[in-house]
Amino acid sequence: MFETGEGYRGVARQLGANWWPVKQLHERWRVRGSGALVTKRGGQPISFELKLDVVQRSLAGETKVELAKEFGLSSPKAIDVWLRKYRDEGEDGLRSKRRGRPPGPAESETGQRSELEQLRAENERLRAEVAYLGKLRALRAQERR
């Protein structure tokens, strides 16, 4: 439909769909052609340097669609996200953040931890033993009276 020159609002009307998702598809189509509507680039992290270059060129006046085409991005929307992060957090906002579960403790820490846990368990057992022996002593003293 886009190949015939139809705009995203016209296509949305024909499909009976909301215009916003159709606009996003139209932007992807303008960047990557009809294959962008089917295939998706995934699993490839984008470097900090590339993001910074794209943001600086966008701020200098280049269009997001041109930049997305040049750098092989799936959508100009990614550039909007980078611009927002750049404005809010500066260059650090463009750096990749670690995601997921934090790494577990190193082996030496694990050994120390297990030793600490063993000592705590032994301490608890000894306290219970002292309490038991104290009550036993009190009972024996009571029997003698």
Per-residue model confidence (pLDDT) at position 106: 64
Q: How confident is the prediction for the chain on average, in pLDDT?
A: 81
pLDDT in tens, 38-81: 555 555 778 888 888 999 999 998 888 888 888 887 778 888 99
Helix axes 64-71, 19-32, angle to 10 degrees: 50
Per-residue model confidence (pLDDT) at position 39: 55
pTM of this structure: 0.47
Q: What is the C-alpha to C-alpha distance for residues 69 and 75, in angstroms, rounded to an integer?
A: 9
Contact (Cβ atoms closer than 8 angstroms) between residue 27 and residue 69: no
Per-residue model confidence (pLDDT) at position 43: 59
Half-sphere exposure of 56 (CA within 13 A, CB side): 7
Burial of 82 (0-12, 13-18, 19+ CB in 10 A): buried
The answer, yes or no, to whether residue 127 has pLDDT greater than 90, is yes
The answer, yes or no, to whether residue 131 has pLDDT greater than 90, is yes
Q: What percent of the chain has pLDDT over 70?
A: 83
Q: What is the C-alpha to C-alpha distance for residues 74 and 30, in angstroms, rounded to an integer?
A: 10
Mean pLDDT on 83-108: 80
Q: What is the C-alpha to C-alpha distance for residues 130 and 140, in angstroms, rounded to an integer?
A: 15
Q: What is the C-alpha to C-alpha distance for residues 8 and 25, in angstroms, rounded to an integer?
A: 8
